[in-house]
Structure 1
Amino acid sequence: MKRFDSDRNRAVAIWLFACAALVFAMVVVGGITRLSGSGLSITEWKPLIGALPPMNAADWADAFARYKAIPQYTQVNAGMSLAEFQGIFWWEWSHRLLGRLVGVAFAVPFAIFLVLGWIPRRLIWRCGLLLGLGGLQGLIGWWMVSSGLVDRVDVAPERLTIHLGLALLLFMGLVWTGLEARAGFHNSRPPVGWSRAAALLLAAVFFQCLLGGLVAGGKAGFVYTDWPLMNGAILAPVDWSKGALAFLHDQALIQFDHRIWAYGLLVAGTAYAVLVWRGRLVDGLGASAYVVAGTLWLQAALGIATLMHGVPLWLGALHQAGAVVVLCAATVNLWLVRRSQARIFTSGWRPKGL
């Protein structure tokens, strides 16, 4: 069989982008699972046979009985009917099914492309690392769920944030590697200032997503739903008796951190776009910077609307999807900057410092 020795491959790029789209869908469904209170409806982790849902009345009764044994049912959903349980069960089952689908959609083509020799050699280790991260994500997901089965009525916010963060790292890795597979190797020396600025912007977006995970895990979006103040104050009262854990568990503080970081991110993203405009960059860098700034402003407006409406399911899911869109835009922007040459500057002006 003929082996391809090209440093780029369109089929491999399409495969990676398709896997990124599946991870995007999984993040959104995960958000809906959280908002609907469905995440603890399946109290077992069976990676293989768990792919099958209850097939008959006896299976449903058994699954419902296991759910009735955890604190969430006894303290929050006591008296829930079987039909209501099935409503939350299907969201969690769909989320786990998507996770399995992502694994198959990545692992099977990966093996085939390796045999065919289609994957550029410099990307093989990256794809192997992405496969490992996907497997780790399954373990982290169960570790998260298990935190809510004994002493809590929901999952631990920090575990949910780690689960979300790993999914977003996987998403960024898929997008970046897909771009590499599509474009091929390019020995570029990007201007240091622009590269650092784009990297810092991406890091800031990722950190904001993690803060959003803490808000989601701590249900902080359901309190202090006025804006721009918090119950008439800049910062609502914080229970500092928790010590440093207040930054992870106190609803007022984690919502405040999410708000403040969003303001800073808006300023940074807008300033970055203005600097790009002043620098008159070519090679698509200007457009990518403007897209990042535009998505940041749209996401901020969506976040405010979501908060002030009490986080309805559809707005909460849309806000989570928007976060991934912003992250994607910032990832593509950094990739474009790092592959650029110094000649991309059509004027002599360049950013200093950074």
Structure 2
Amino acid sequence: MPFDPHLPTRSQLRADQRAIGWWLLVVAAMIWAMVALGGATRLTGSGLSIMEWAPLSGTLPPLSQAEWQRLYDLYRTIPQYELVNQGFGLEGFKQIFWLEWAHRLWGRLIGLAFVLPLAWFWLRGRIPQGLKPRLVLLLLLGGAQGAVGWFMVTSGFEADRTAVSPYRLVTHLGLALLLYGLVLWTALNLFRPERNAPEHPAGLRRLVHGTAGLLVLAMLAGGFVAGIHAGLAYNTFPLMEGRWVPEGYAELSPFLLNWTANIAAVQFNHRLLATLAGAAALAAAFWGIRVLPVGFARGSLLALGLVVALQYALGVATLLLVVPAWLGTLHQTVAVGVLTAALAALHALRRPRHAAPVSRTRA
């Protein structure tokens, strides 16, 4: 093959991949923080305090007393003020305003942290050709998440509503988890491109896949718990008002409506899915410790078992203490840690595949 001085060397490609990988890890960490901030915003009832969608001008907070008063007067027109916060005054409004403003500002910063390095890597020709479609997809999903967030907020302005629609809330949460997972997985691909999983029983990989599925379902079920405030009821464990399956589990019709709108069913489902996922994660961790050599795969499974145990304990404590804002926020934050460990374990146990043709490089 003739020498081409314009082709990158293998060492240059590896350096570029690591640089892009570190950039994506920073973005993933920012999304993780965004999920935590979103939890705090929801638990403090701050999410409806800003009734305007202004991607550019909304970057700055109110800079005059008149602007503060204008935004406060807008807030006083929605049911949440009339039914929950009536009479709490401008100073009370400022307290909930700042958290929602910080949440939106952090979203804008995530956008900049993705777009600016993307443009720099792209213009300098440092992005591998096969990676470009994935990065464009991540960019589009990030933009969609901002739009879905505003779509969710507007549901809280409707008549007789004091909070956002639980369906839109779960959509917003689910898209955040999907975006986080794709960013993290892409970074892992760049740091660990080889599918060199240690020898292990095929059943272990299947167990980890099943565990990851249960964990995601438990997280989405937790979104419905948050959306209909189901954590404020049945504050005992493990029984729910003295029963394993609460009375009234199937009181709504059609039956499936119970899974999203019935407090008893929604909380029971979250408990059940979390318990099944926790048992599966611990089983995978013990199995991995027994059959895998010391390394990334074994460490990922051990981390998965530990963080799931921590998350389960936090969930029970949050329930028994009737959802204090700080503990509910911590519970939502650690949920992303659970997803992180699950994705790391899945990545470490990827099935080997036949080698694909490699892009041309200089030695």
Query: TM-score by structure 1 length?
Result: 0.91
Conserved? CA contact 2:197–2:297, under 8 Å: no
1:251-330 alignment, distance < 5 Å: 251-330=263-342
1:190-269 alignment, distance < 5 Å: 192-238=202-248, 240-243=251-254, 244-269=256-281
Q: Distance in 2 between matches of 1:42 and 1:287?
A: 43
Q: Which stretch of structure 1 is more off in the superposition, 59-68 or 48-57?
A: 48-57
1:87 and 2:95 are equivalent in the alignment:
yes
Q: Tell me the number of residue pairs that the alignment of Structure 1 and Structure 2 aligns.
A: 342
1:182 and 2:191 are equivalent in the alignment:
yes
Q: Distance in 1 between matches of 2:351 and 2:199?
A: 6
| Residue aligning to 1:164 | 173
| Residue aligning to 2:85 | 77
From 140, 145, 149, the counterpart of 2:148: 140
1:120 and 2:128 are equivalent in the alignment:
yes
Q: Distance in 2 between matches of 1:221 and 1:58?
A: 39
- 1:280/1:2 Cα in 2 relative to 1: closer, same or farther (>3 Å)? same
Q: Deviations over 1:149-208 (max 9, x none)?
A: 012111011110110111011111111111112234558898754433322222221111
Conserved? CA contact 2:198–2:292, under 8 Å: no
Structure 2 residue identity aligned to 1:17: L
Structure 2 residue ranges without an equivalent (≥5): 354-363
| Residue aligning to 2:74 | 66
Structure 2 residue identity aligned to 1:279: V
| Residue aligning to 1:104 | 112
SS at match of 2:53: coil
Q: Distance in 1 between matches of 2:257 and 2:147?
A: 24
Q: Distance in 2 between matches of 1:92 and 1:80?
A: 17
Q: Deviations over 1:54-113 (max 9, x none)?
A: 111110111011111011111111111110000001111111111111111101111111
Conserved? CA contact 2:304–2:342, under 8 Å: yes
Query: What percent of counterpart residues are identical?
Result: 43
Question: How far apart are 1:274 and its partner, in Å?
Answer: 2.5
Conserved? CA contact 2:50–2:97, under 8 Å: yes
Q: Distance in 2 between matches of 1:89 and 1:3?
A: 52
Question: How far apart are 1:233 and its partner, in Å?
Answer: 2.2
Q: Which stretch of structure 1 is more off in the superposition, 194-203 or 14-23?
A: 194-203
Query: TM-score by structure 2 length?
Result: 0.89
From 129, 142, 164, the counterpart of 1:155: 164
Structure 1 residue ranges without an equivalent (≥5): 342-354
